[in-house]
């Protein structure tokens, strides 16, 4: 049974994860509708450029989402009693969140300062999940280990498979964002106490 403080932290974590994800997709639709840019021909970062009237809105939600992802992922690793070598996951998930934050701080007009973190975020997030699962394959319940493994594979394979189909990168980026969001919701609502009870039977 979790103490009241732990319950409150869990509630706040779940709420901020859901709110930030919902806001992200609301603002995504808002930017798409207000700019009139075709998703098939752009990358999402166009919405944050200096030429866009509401560029600051897009960049702000990226920063907010990066903080939300950082908090959610770090708390997931910290509270998970089956995970080992947690420092590796701390470092990798923190780096992923930093890359996303840099996308909001340095918009598309900054060139390499934006492009490098963008690609690192794209590839490092699934890699971070995969490494976490691989390092803990002997300690995690099979179902959870397999879930993380599948998410890490889908998160990279699905977006990449759509890159060649469109002129721009927006569609693959949206698919990547959807998968990232689903995994974060999974992580936020993970019930550790249930797994512990089942493992004792």
Question: What is the tens place of the pLDDT at every residue in 84-133?
Answer: 999 999 999 999 999 999 999 999 999 999 999 999 999 999 999 999 99
What is the distance between the alpha carbons of residues 39 and 43, in angstroms, rounded to a whole number?
7
| Cα dihedral 1, 79, 100, 186 sign | negative
Residues 148-184 pLDDT 10s: 999 999 999 999 999 989 989 999 999 999 999 999 9
Decide: pTM greater than 0.75: yes
Contact 76, 184 (CB under 8 A): no
| CA distance readout (Å), 7 to 2, 147, 170, 186 | 6, 25, 38, 17
């Amino acid at each position: 049974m979790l103490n009241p403080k732990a319950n409150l932290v869990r509630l706040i974590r779940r709420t901020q994860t859901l709110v930030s994800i919902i806001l992200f997709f609301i603002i995504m639709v808002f930017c798409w509708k207000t700019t009139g840019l075709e998703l098939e021909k752009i990358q999402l970062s166009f919405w944050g450029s200096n030429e866009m009237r509401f560029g600051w809105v897009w960049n702000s939600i990226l920063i907010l989402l990066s903080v939300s992802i950082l908090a959610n992922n770090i708390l997931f690793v910290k509270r998970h009693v089956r995970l080992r070598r947690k420092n590796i996951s701390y470092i990798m998930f923190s780096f992923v969140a930093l890359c996303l934050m840099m996308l909001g701080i340095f918009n598309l007009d900054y060139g390499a300062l934006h492009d490098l973190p963008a690609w690192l975020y794209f590839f490092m997030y699934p890699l971070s999940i995969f490494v976490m699962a691989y390092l803990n394959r002997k300690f995690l319940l099979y179902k959870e280990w397999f879930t993380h493994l599948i998410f890490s594979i889908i998160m990279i394979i699905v977006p990449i498979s759509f890159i060649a189909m469109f002129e721009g990168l927006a569609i693959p980026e949206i698919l990547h964002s959807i998968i990232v969001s689903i995994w974060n919701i999974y992580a936020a609502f993970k019930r550790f106490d249930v797994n512990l009870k089942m493992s004792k039977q």
